[in-house]
Amino acid sequence: MKKWLSTLVILCCAAFHVHAADEGVEDYAYYGFEPDIVTNYISNRKKLGFVKISVELMVKDPNDLVSLEHHDPLLRSAIVEILGNQAEDKVKSLSGREEIRRECYETVNRLMEQEVGKAIVVNLLFTKYLYD
């Protein structure tokens, strides 16, 4: 009887622990711009400089992906504009890349707040970043 009761208590504790852990898990989703974003930047050389990036937007609620897809052209245009106004040294440096990423993140959230009433993007990631 003691073994049975001990087993029951252990199983209940384990089930409670798993249930409590599931409540704290966030259900993040990602939206990726297709195709990659390609644009020019301000170059110091005679040759035109370009940058090609893959952008992923992270959201907490998978239902927000529909809004992102609907506003894809607006967001893509804003990111292209930001990249097109960058100087060559900023595009080519790691700290500059982070500043550009942060500016894109803030702009995307500002635009989504204007369009849907809330900032839905948790993070903006550059998953590919090529320049010439």
What share of the chain in percent tops pLDDT 90? 73
Q: What is the pTM of this model?
A: 0.79
- In the predicted model, what is the mean pLDDT of the chain? 86
67-107 per-position pLDDT tens digit: 999 999 999 999 999 999 999 999 999 999 999 999 999 99
Residue 123, helix vs strand vs coil:
strand
Dihedral sign, CA of 123, 120, 34, 49? negative
CB 79 within 8 A of CB 125: no
| CA Rg value for the chain | 22
Q: What is the pLDDT of residue 9?
A: 42
21-73 per-position pLDDT tens digit: 445 567 899 999 999 999 999 888 888 899 999 999 999 999 999 999 999 99
